[in-house]
Amino acid sequence: MDTWTLIEQPCRFNRRRGTDALFTLGNGYLGCRGFFEEEQEDVEALGGIYVAGVFGRGALKAWKGMHRELVNTPNFFWVSLRVNGEALLCRPKRMAGYRRVLDMRRGVLDRRFTWTGSDGARVRVRFERFLSVDDLHLAGQRIEIEALDRDVEIELLVGIDARVTQLNRVTTSPRPIQPGRRHLRTLRAGPDEIETVVDTLPKGVRLAEAQRAVLETPAGPLRGADAATTDLAARRFCFRLAAAKTARLTRLAAFYTSRDGADPMARARRTLRRAGDYEGLRAAHERRWAETWRACDIELEGPDDDQRALRFNLFQLLQACPEHDSRVSLGARGLSGEMHEGSVFWDNEIFKLPFFTFTRPAATASMLRFRHRTLPEARRHARDLWFDGAMYAWKSGDDGVEETEMGVGAYYAIHIVADIAYALRQYWEATADDEFLFRYGVEILIETARFWKSRSHYDPLRRTWNILAVRGPNEYDVIVNNNLFTNMMAGENLRYAEEAVALMRRRSPAAWKRLAARLGFRETEPAAWRALAEGLVLCYDRGRDLFVEDDMYLHRVPFDMKRGKPDARRVIDGTLPYEAMALYQITKQSDVVTLMNLLPWKFTPRQMRRAYAFYEPRTAHDSSLSYSPHAVMAARLGMRAEAYRYFRDCAYLDLADIQLNTISGLHFANLGGAWQAAVMGFAGLWQGDGRLHLGPHLPAAWKAMRFRLCYRGGTLRVELRGGKTRVLLESPGPAPLRLCVAGRDVRLSKAGQEVTTPA
């Protein structure tokens, strides 16, 4: 059980809100930070509940959009508790036996402590809550209060609090949590219902919340009295609790928005009316989690801490995934905090989607549909900037509009375009889902290929094609020409487009005809894409057999990493300004190394080894997107100790607050990176040549690792133990599966068939 729980004990009073993000619960529709339920006098900004797709207008000036930000929505877990007239406040001398426990197996948060009032009366309090993954519109909460040694008078207010503000964006600094903007206007509040509107964007979203709260006391159940105020729906329960007796409050809350359809309040009421009791609801929720874990867990025979950390990363990824709604995707901090405003970046496709592609392909399909939905905006963006096809926003709001702040260089960060194409291709290879490819994918591939065609320029001196003025994953390069990552990924994008067109023409000719007519497809396009893909400059130093980040990298000044990064702070937060970075050979975050992980068939082992040796000491890891690619590459190269060290940096990044800003939300790309480090690194998974590759690279600390993969309609169970890899076909797909296990070609077609290498 222990490796399924995250435990905070004792209370870290001076870092009270600092660990809230770790204790986030979610169901893809809602995300709820692990804040304390009971009102506190010293905590200024309250709550932390976010709804996928509910945005308000932010404070900064975005390049194109309105600078949308995720809205902190009314807190339906709010309570206020008084014992003998005194507010129950979290203070060091008053609390004992504090424990906050996130049960990741069941998706339940539990917190308990014993509190002593100034008159010496003691009560034991326990809070439990969950956001149902069975019915996304329901949440449950239970509060137990036990009088320990004498009778006490209790006043308990149970409400939905719309006084909440944004948590921390008064300044752009992530700390401390302070009250920020308020996006909500209350339309009406009663004892059990509240309706608010987010009216800081022109088309405001309405939020409707309802609660059903019942208090069981030793003397019988209480319904409570109306205690609503302007921005608070609430019921008040006043009662006397005899010594050694327990009172128990149970609340169900229902939540809808106008995004879910007309009259969200009627929906909330109906859901609440039909909801069963707390136990039944929680049991259904737990059953869902059990199914999810069966498909997605990674089991280790190794240190318990690693097992727990790995589960933590997967748990948070799973519960933020908006699989139910392709109008939204997964933001850089999921629904666990406000940093990056809930926007979607390249790290969605490159760091998070691989996990979903191989464990919950429907989730990847939904997030790729989000990119299809936002294609019209990407087209507009390209046209406005004098390009063809579709230029996806670097930082995308739910409407696909470029939300990057003015003047921050989103114009250059165009590898996002090819990253989306790559994720699409990976999804198709892993699922063989032609229908999806033809319905949504081919259109994206054609429009992105067209973008690259217009964004590349022929260089008559070198007789090559250049992609000028870009910013690769290494954002410290500021603006470069021919970033290797961008050019190679663009080349792949062009190839995928050509192949997808040929495939659709063959397999679905009627649909292809319609699509070609709609897109004004010209028969000359595929050949032009191929010529461009073959002609793009790839920076490479032949003498050293070294692939080079861009065409100036080797000419820049060596960077003194010890001086520039003496502590955990980013270089640009500690020693030098952002502008200085262009002078130096410094890589903010893994760039060439990430590329080589994505396209391993394009490089020899020697080239990978050289690139790793060259870039690793030049990499500042000033982004959370840096550790996992290093873990993957080091594992694949057989540098197991180094791979393990990077795995731990990645898996514990939020748990140990390595980047010093977990307070502002969990790092979702890195959560996906933890899966990549384990499965793509230690288990060597990759695809790209029609086979699924696996190979054992376990670190010395791990005896064995087991996990499941969805592959082409089948399910594989993989076990690595020492130098052996065992793959079992649990359920077959429609066609035999082609694998390459530790260098050996294998075909699996019947359920129960398995292979172990070396035998």
Q: In this complex, which beta carbon is closest to ligand BGC, that of residue 28 or of residue 473?
A: 473
Tell the smallest beta-carbon distance from residue 475 to ligand BGC (Å). 5
Q: In this complex, which beta carbon is closest to ligand BGC, that of residue 340 or of residue 425?
A: 340
- Residue 42, Cβ neighbours under 10 Å: how many? 9
Q: In this complex, which beta carbon is closest to ligand BGC, that of residue 434 or of residue 573?
A: 573
Q: Tell me if 477 contacts ligand BGC by CB under 6 A.
A: no
Q: Binding to ligand BGC (CB under 6 A): which residues in 655-674? A: 669
Q: Tell me if 589 contacts ligand BGC by CB under 6 A.
A: yes
CA angle centred on 725, ends 722 and 731, rounded to 5°? 140
The site that binds ligand BGC (CB under 6 A) totals a number of residues, namely: 11
CA distance 442 to 421: 10
Q: In this complex, which beta carbon is closest to ligand BGC, that of residue 456 or of residue 661?
A: 661
Q: Tell me if 345 contacts ligand BGC by CB under 6 A.
A: yes
Tell the smallest beta-carbon distance from residue 340 to ligand BGC (Å). 5
Q: In this complex, which beta carbon is closest to ligand BGC, that of residue 521 or of residue 578?
A: 578
The full 3-state SS of 565-617, as one line of letters, equals: CCCCCCHHHHCCCHHHHHHEECECCCCHHHHHHHCHHHCCHHHHHHHHHHHHH
The single residue among 155, 347, 591, 654 that binds ligand BGC, judged by CB under 6 A, is 347
Q: Tell me if 549 contacts ligand BGC by CB under 6 A.
A: no
Q: Tell me if 78 contacts ligand BGC by CB under 6 A.
A: no
Whether the CB-CB separation of 491 and 422 falls below 8 Å is answered with no
Choose the stretch contacting ligand BGC; rule: CB under 6 A; options: 94-102, 150-158, 339-347, 534-542.
339-347
Phi first, then psi: give them for residue 178, nearest 5 degrees. -135, 160
Q: Tell me if 475 contacts ligand BGC by CB under 6 A.
A: yes
Tell the smallest beta-carbon distance from residue 334 to ligand BGC (Å). 11
CA distance 374 to 400: 5
CA distance 109 to 125: 14
Amino acid at 195: E
Q: Tell me if 625 contacts ligand BGC by CB under 6 A.
A: yes
Q: Tell me if 630 contacts ligand BGC by CB under 6 A.
A: no
- Residue 292, Cβ neighbours under 10 Å: how many? 18
Greatest alpha-carbon pair distance for the chain in Å reads 90
Distances (CA, A) of 624 to 584, 651, 652, 661, 668: 21, 11, 11, 10, 9
Q: Tell me if 73 contacts ligand BGC by CB under 6 A.
A: no
- Residue 564, Cβ neighbours under 10 Å: how many? 17
Tell the smallest beta-carbon distance from residue 381 to ligand BGC (Å). 18
Closest CA to 237 of 453, 81, 75: 81
Q: In this complex, which beta carbon is closest to ligand BGC, that of residue 267 or of residue 333?
A: 333
User: What's the distance, CA 416 to chain centroid?
Assistant: 17
CA distance 441 to 436: 6
Tell the smallest beta-carbon distance from residue 629 to ligand BGC (Å). 11
Tell the smallest beta-carbon distance from residue 589 to ligand BGC (Å). 6
Determine which helix (DSSP H) or strand (DSSP E) holds 446, and give its type and residue range. helix 442-455
Q: Tell me if 340 contacts ligand BGC by CB under 6 A.
A: yes
Tell the smallest beta-carbon distance from residue 253 to ligand BGC (Å). 31
Choose the stretch contacting ligand BGC; rule: CB under 6 A; options: 83-91, 142-150, 340-348, 366-374.
340-348
Tell the smallest beta-carbon distance from residue 722 to ligand BGC (Å). 36
CB neighbour class for 114 (10 Å; exposed up to 12, middle 13-18, buried from 19): middle
Q: Tell me if 346 contacts ligand BGC by CB under 6 A.
A: yes
Closest CA to 656 of 159, 222, 305, 319: 305
Q: Tell me if 623 contacts ligand BGC by CB under 6 A.
A: yes
Choose the stretch contacting ligand BGC; rule: CB under 6 A; options: 127-135, 140-148, 249-257, 345-353.
345-353
Amino acid at 31: G
CA distance 12 to 89: 14
Whether the CB-CB separation of 137 and 255 falls below 8 Å is answered with yes
Q: In this complex, which beta carbon is closest to ligand BGC, that of residue 29 or of residue 345?
A: 345
Q: In this complex, which beta carbon is closest to ligand BGC, that of residue 650 or of residue 705?
A: 650
Distances (CA, A) of 345 to 30, 149, 350, 582: 20, 55, 9, 23
Choose the stretch contacting ligand BGC; rule: CB under 6 A; options: 93-101, 241-249, 338-346, 480-488.
338-346
Q: In this complex, which beta carbon is closest to ligand BGC, that of residue 585 or of residue 587?
A: 587
Q: Tell me if 483 contacts ligand BGC by CB under 6 A.
A: no
Q: Tell me if 364 contacts ligand BGC by CB under 6 A.
A: no
Q: In this complex, which beta carbon is closest to ligand BGC, that of residue 317 or of residue 669?
A: 669
Name the percent of the chain in helix, strand, coil, to the closest 5: 35, 25, 40
Q: In this complex, which beta carbon is closest to ligand BGC, that of residue 334 or of residue 684?
A: 334
Choose the stretch contacting ligand BGC; rule: CB under 6 A; options: 28-36, 165-173, 344-352, 600-608.
344-352
Write the binding mask 317 to 336 for ligand BGC: x where contact by CB under 6 A, - elsewhere.
---------------x----
| Binding positions for ligand BGC, rule: CB under 6 A | 332, 340, 345-347, 473, 475, 589, 623, 625, 669
